[in-house]
Chains A and B, each alone.
Chain A
Amino acid sequence: DTEVTQTPKHLVMGMTNKKSLKCEQHMGHRAMYWYKQKAKKPPELMFVYSYEKLSINESVPSRFSPECPNSSLLNLHLHALQPEDSALYLCASSQVGGTLTGELFFGEGSRLTVL
């Protein structure tokens, strides 16, 4: 079982909706990530939080808004999304500089469909 828990597993939303994806880990990791994965593609980095501070924003549109309330939780707030935003959204965590071990611990993802 993955130690990174993502909710919901599936989400369908209209383009005018506001929704949030949630991620939780209890491994003591201080780096947390949001990735977007389209079918048959590798994960694409969206955001990195290090010690609860946003350290990387890969030029993601403002309709995606990340939040890290504490060291165990990571949220992704969604607003006014487009159909092309439909994808699997993966949360991951690691030790800081977290790539020190090269190991990201991924959740199972939230499958988002935008109508």
Chain B
Amino acid sequence: QQQVKQSPQSLIVQKGGISIINCAYENTAFDYFPWYQQFPGKGPALLIAIRPDVSEKKEGRFTISFNKSAKQFSLHIMDSQPGDSATYFCAAIALMNRDDKIIFGKGTRLHILP
């Protein structure tokens, strides 16, 4: 059973536009939500992360919005650039479990048109 649902599967955005990727979860034990960015031929790299006691976190052009009651969170990329073209994975962790398991969403392939 998929524990983190991610959408869309793929996304095409014009340069300068806003890219939005959505994720939803069911397990209320999750208490940490990182986003990973993966370029072709590379391993994933942590992009930004949020805890559920915060509704929004911004780092440069990247913003996570978190809705605890709806159990949903999303990644917004402002002023999207061709260099942002990559696969993005949302993820969830139950820190209290201390089992070192990260549950990944299925990923979104983002393509920014030049």
Contacts and interface: CB of A to CB of B under 8 A. Distances in A.
A42 B107 contact: yes
Interface in A38-52: 40-43, 45, 48, 50
Interface string B24-49: 00000000111000000111111001
Given A42-B106, A100-B95, A103-B49, A31 B44 contact: no
Contacts of A92: 43
A106 B46 CA distance: 9
Interface residues of B, number: 25
Contacts, number: 71
| Size category, A interface | 20 to 34
A12 interface: no
A42 B45 contact: no
12 contacts: A4-B43, A33-B100, A42-B105, A43-B44, A45-B101, A99-B95, A99-B102, A102-B93, A103-B46, A106-B44, A108-B42, A108-B43
Interface of A: 2, 4, 31, 33, 40-43, 45, 48, 50, 55-56, 90, 92, 94, 96-100, 102-104, 106-109
